[in-house]
Structure 1
Amino acid sequence: MTPAEDCDIADKADLAAYRALRERAHVLLRRDEEHSIFAQIIDFNWRDATYRMINEARRTVAPDHKNAAVAPVLGEFIDQSYVMGVVAAVGRLTDPAAEDEGRGVVSLPTVLRFLRDNHSLVRREMFVCFDGAPYDPTPPEEPWDPGVRLVAKGPHDISRDRHDLFDRLSRKSPDRRARTDVVHRKVLAALEDRLAHTAITGIHRHRNKVVSHAADAASRGGIERFGLKLETVDQASRVLIEVTETLATILTGEILVGMPVPVATFDVLEHFAEPFAFESDLEALQDLWDETTRTREGWSEAAVEAVLGR
């Protein structure tokens, strides 16, 4: 990082605060490997893509062309697990920001509130010059040399790109630029509006109201029986990606995810054409089901005595 004294920013204390803000934003957005916004977005979209592939394989089943997907208990488990995963993922990503920042709720509302709390600090001169890029994007005049071919962007190119982006964030035209420009309130309002999308609020209502029903062989693509549609998941996923990338652009100057469904390092269809279980194992699987059932029946029958007898 360019030393603060070499940056085209007069208030060095504010520059230090802005750099600290960017570091905090990077932690919230990506550096926490398990709970960052990036990790949550990637996990959500990977699981979503996986389900859609499984679901499409089930849709090809015909009376004379069956696979394990027609098993009612398996279909129900897959669909219900997917719905619960969607509800949990969207819920985590859109959880309200904690009143106490020390609680560490990593969600998009937390990042948005972080931006609002530091609104005056995220101004044009910081956005452009924090790492040594010049405020003036106009490069000095140099003699033209036809033998020189620049490949990498120079500091003035970087400055120009950042100014152009901040023009959109501040809703200012290039001829009205000022060092004190901040992100326009309409941009912040648009982010809040996106998080209030009906797909998001609808999934929120499911957090405590998802009801399961027994599936049958005809229930393929059947998450609607759990009160959710793939169309709604699509809408919610798009909103989450849009808000994530916009917040990352404002706070770090670059998009965060790019590829919400990561490139697989293995064959995602490996063993898909294999049978789910072997005929010779069915008796043992039935025994396991019966044993599990009996064990829990025993817990139920002895429950009151187990508690009151202590």
Structure 2
Amino acid sequence: MSDDYDYPLSQCDVADKRALEQFRAKRTVWRSWLEEDEHHAIWSTIQQMVWTDVAFRSLTAAGSAGTSTALQNPLMAEALINGYFATQILAVRRLVDGGNSDIISLRRLLKDLKAHAHLLTREHYVCYDGLPYDFARVQEEEMSAHLTQGGGAIWAATSGRRAWHSSRMGHEQFDKVSKVSADRRQRDDRIASSTLSTIETWLNESGAAELGKWSNVYLAHAGGPTARQAFSNFQVTVDRISEAIRNLARVAEALGAYVLWSSGRLNALMATAQFDPFEGLEGPVMSADQQTAARVLWDQLSDDRDDCLASVAYELFR
């Protein structure tokens, strides 16, 4: 987990340095969950789900176009379908896991933000890493100094106590999440509870929780008849999964780009392929000789799996 703050607490325009220290520590954790964890970062998970969704739909569309292709082979179709549903639903399940243990999920991130909402004040939001609170004063000073030096092109700082433009953007964004108008700004303004409630509603209504519960019965665990009864009329479809992914991405965007004023994916959710994703698909999967070898291997592997049962009775009752 990286500590990406450029300015020490002493250079931050915040009165209560202890509270700012707590905010920065929590913000580092929250950003780690969203962006930086090497295995389970929320954005990495969502973007992988988006990639898989687009790839699966592209391949299955080609496979169902009517032309005879290798994609219509039963083994290929089975591998594609089973792999898609298993990986996507388990990823959805992880993102909505609401446990309080050492897990990373959208649900836990939202719960932790709500539990520490008192730290999400205007001065922390704007000034947590060296920006000035009173951007108008700094802007006036910078403009006056610039004119005194003869005018011309101006290069405004983007960080530190002279970065009035960055501070202004922070205030304007916090106006939205706090729902406080610009003429009523106070240092101790807090993020509006309705902002977090709206995001929580998006998460609750995303359809992801239902997929997670279904996976507990059919995928992650082997649910018995009673557990399965609750899902007797529940159909898991590609469209249902795609919609859940879209909604989870919206929740992550709201938390990262707006609540934390950190990272977003606006217009860049789908990764840009660094290769031709359809390269080689115009050719056959295997040659005639490879098919013959594959059949031999199929029989060998089948016999080996069958043989694992041959000695059960002997080993059990000898």
User: How far does residue 207 in structure 1 lie from its aligned partner after superposition?
Assistant: 0.7
Deviations 1:166-196 (A, max 9, x none): 1111111112222111121112212221222
User: How far does residue 270 in structure 1 lie from its aligned partner after superposition?
Assistant: 1.3
CA distance 1:244–1:140, change in 2 (3 Å): same
Amino acid at match of 1:78: L
* 2-structure distance, mates of 1:202, 1:300: 39
Q: Which residue matches 1:215?
A: none
Choose from 189, 197, 200 the match for 2:205. Answer: 197
Q: Which runs of 5+ in 1 are unaligned?
A: 212-225
Q: Which residue matches 2:187?
A: 179
* 2-structure distance, mates of 1:208, 1:298: 33
Amino acid at match of 1:86: Q
Amino acid at match of 1:80: N
Choose from 274, 279, 285 the match for 2:288. Answer: 279
Q: Which residue matches 1:76?
A: 78
Do 2:156 and 2:165's aligned partners in 1 also have CA atoms closer than 8 Å?
Answer: no
* 1-structure distance, mates of 2:314, 2:254: 57
CA distance 1:168–1:60, change in 2 (3 Å): same
Amino acid at match of 2:108: T
User: How far does residue 42 in structure 1 lie from its aligned partner after superposition?
Assistant: 2.2
Q: Does residue 92 in structure 1 map to residue 94 in structure 2?
A: yes
CA distance 1:266–1:195, change in 2 (3 Å): same
How many residues end up aligned between the 2 structures? 288
Taking only aligned residues, the RMSD between alpha carbons, in angstroms, comes to 2.4
Q: Which runs of 5+ in 2 are unaligned?
A: 1-5, 220-233
Q: Which residue matches 2:37?
A: 32
Matched ranges for 1:121-140 at <5 A: 121-138=119-136, 139-140=139-140
Deviations 1:42-93 (A, max 9, x none): 221222222122112113233xxx1111212321221121111111111111
Deviations 1:227-254 (A, max 9, x none): 4333212211111111111111355412
Amino acid at match of 1:106: I
* 2-structure distance, mates of 1:156, 1:92: 40
Q: Which residue matches 1:216?
A: none
TM-score by length of 1: 0.84
User: How far does residue 113 in structure 1 lie from its aligned partner after superposition?
Assistant: 1.7
Do 1:115 and 1:251's aligned partners in 2 also have CA atoms closer than 8 Å?
Answer: no
Secondary structure of 1:47's partner?
helix
CA distance 1:265–1:9, change in 2 (3 Å): same
Do 1:22 and 1:251's aligned partners in 2 also have CA atoms closer than 8 Å?
Answer: no
* 1-structure distance, mates of 2:108, 2:296: 49
Secondary structure of 1:300's partner?
coil
Do 2:206 and 2:248's aligned partners in 1 also have CA atoms closer than 8 Å?
Answer: no
Matched ranges for 1:1-310 at <5 A: 1-62=6-67, 66-98=68-100, 100=101, 104-138=102-136, 139-140=139-140, 142-143=143-144, 144=147, 147-150=152-155, 153=158, 155-197=163-205, 199-210=207-218, 227-250=235-258, 252-258=260-266, 259-303=268-312, 306=315, 308=316
Amino acid at match of 1:39: S
Greater alpha carbon shift after TM alignment, 104-113 vs 261-270: 261-270
Amino acid at match of 1:269: F
Do 2:45 and 2:91's aligned partners in 1 also have CA atoms closer than 8 Å?
Answer: yes
* 1-structure distance, mates of 2:84, 2:133: 49
Do 2:93 and 2:209's aligned partners in 1 also have CA atoms closer than 8 Å?
Answer: no
Secondary structure of 1:189's partner?
helix
Q: Which residue matches 1:218?
A: none
Deviations 1:24-51 (A, max 9, x none): 1222112212211122122212222221
Deviations 1:251-281 (A, max 9, x none): 5412344433222222212111111121222
Q: Which residue matches 1:214?
A: none
* 1-structure distance, mates of 2:199, 2:311: 53
CA distance 1:45–1:10, change in 2 (3 Å): same
